[in-house]
Amino acid sequence: MKRHILILGLVGGILIAILRWSEYQFLVIEHSLEIYGAIVAIIFVVFGIWLGIKLTKPREKIVLREVLITTTAEPAAPATFTLNQVQLDALGITPRELEILTLIAQGLSNREIAARLFVSENTVKTHCSRAFDKLGARRRTQAVQLGKQLGLLP
């Protein structure tokens, strides 16, 4: 009798396993698009939440503090500027162009330079463009930098 019960139990177990397997096959084959779509949706939701947390996370604030350093020694005297006349002659920069380059280095606009030199803005622009061409510069900042490197500006 035990043997019949064991065989019936084993056959029943195998039948239940076959039914579960066929149910799984039916589920995967018939509804595979929905299952894979749900998996992709879950992945995107998790990624979106992670990215949202990462982008909206408050950043640390940088606090700059001024520190006053006092010294007992005398400050060094600033070095005197000497114009590099050789470079000035080699480039062919006129005294007026050099004067305008100096004013540009001081941070003045074309209008302010024109008012200080009592000339029109167009005259200042002409002198600027000629000086820029001679220096090989395209912008005011580049002209000032080159003028300092060549010893034309303090």
Expressed in angstroms, the distance from the first to the final Cα of the chain is 113
Task: Quickly tell me which residue has 């005297």 as its tokens.
Answer: 77
pLDDT in tens, the chain (154 residues): 777 788 888 888 888 888 777 777 666 677 777 777 888 889 889 988 888 888 887 766 666 666 666 666 565 656 787 888 888 888 898 999 999 999 999 999 999 999 999 999 999 999 999 999 998 888 898 899 988 888 888 8
pLDDT value, residue 76: 61
Q: Is the pTM of this model over 0.95?
A: no
pLDDT value, residue 8: 82
**Three-class SS state of 136:** coil
pLDDT value, residue 23: 74
Kindly state the tokens that stand for 82: 């000497």
Kindly state the tokens that stand for 75: 């400050």
pLDDT value, residue 103: 93
Spell out a b/e string for 27-59, using b for 16 or more CB atoms within 10 Å of the CB, else e.
Answer: eeeeeeeeeeeeeeeeeeeeeeeeeeeeeeeee
H helix runs in 31-139, sequence order = 32-56, 85-91, 95-105, 110-117, 121-135
pLDDT value, residue 71: 62
Spell out a b/e string for 66-104, using b for 16 or more CB atoms within 10 Å of the CB, else e.
Answer: eeeeeeeeeeeeeeeeeebeeebeebebeeebbebbbbb
CA distance 128 to 135: 10
Q: How many CA atoms lie within 13 A of 131 on its CB side?
A: 31
Task: Quickly tell me which residue has 């002209």 as its tokens.
Answer: 143
CA distance 53 to 47: 10
